Amino acid sequence: MANERPWNLWDESPPPRRVEGGIVARGQADRTGGLGSTVVRRVLERSSPGISTRGRAYAQAGQTLSVDIGHGRIAGEVQGSEAMPYQVEITCTVPEEDRRRFVRALHHALPEPVTTIPAAYTRELRAELAEYRILMDAPLTVRCNCAYRGVCKHLVAFAYVASEALEASPATVAAMLGLTDADLADPDFDVEPAEALAPEVAVFDRRRQAQLARALSAIERRDAPDRDETLQRAAEILTPPPAVANALDLDLYLDPVAPAD
């Protein structure tokens, strides 16, 4: 029909059904720097500003009905405008190194011997875990059975509530990482990190650094600096590797890099 409105306009959906006894998010977990902050930030990165605002309101109104955290999975229900609540899920592949990092953080931040995963954080443990950036780069998948195509307000609301559950207790984080008390005492569970070789870092001469500074300063003086032009000018001066130039779609007349098999 010619007058039919797009079905997925977030601002035209009916208000949600009111919930009694739902889980209310305080809306602070995205600023703690812990695993909960990582989860909510990665979900918000995939949503539009309008969806993020609506989802945050859902979270603070207590529209989330349940949160269940297990190994690599956070599942639950969020009440929307329909009679039945929506089924939401956040899943990720937990790297083995992140599991080891968590155990390492416990041993470094807590008095020895560490035989049980604590139910509450200490200031030292929060600081130690923040250094390891657990699950920062792990593949993350989100799902909701509502009709919206993409990251919906139900997922945003759920991400806020789930993130605060993760920030509430190290034991909850351990459940998501698939760790138990037995892993703390396992002699085969290496606590110390393997010694890694320091990566080579390209160092550019002072002439090119000064040239880059002048070029970027000229661009900065404009009312609206253009991102693509800024990248192009910087790349012309510093000459990145072909793979980087191709990934950024820079016109530097470099030979294309064949994709890996």
Give the chain's domain count.
2
Asked if residue 169 and residue 62 are part of one domain, the reply reads: yes
pLDDT in tens, 212-259: 777 777 777 776 667 777 777 777 777 766 666 666 666 654 444 444
Asked if residue 222 and residue 94 are part of one domain, the reply reads: no
pLDDT in tens, 51-63: 989 999 999 999 9
Asked if residue 89 and residue 216 are part of one domain, the reply reads: no
Asked if residue 242 and residue 114 are part of one domain, the reply reads: no
Stretch 115-123: mean pLDDT, rounded? 91
Asked if residue 232 and residue 116 are part of one domain, the reply reads: no
Asked if residue 122 and residue 221 are part of one domain, the reply reads: no
Asked if residue 65 and residue 115 are part of one domain, the reply reads: yes
pLDDT category at 127 given cuts 50, 70, 90 is: confident
Asked if residue 218 and residue 152 are part of one domain, the reply reads: no
Asked if residue 227 and residue 168 are part of one domain, the reply reads: no
pTM score: 0.66
Which residue range forms the structural domain that includes residue 213?
A: 206-247
Under a CB-based contact definition with an 8 Å cutoff, are residues 29 and 167 in contact?
yes
pLDDT category at 71 given cuts 50, 70, 90 is: very high
pLDDT in tens, 86-98: 999 999 999 999 9
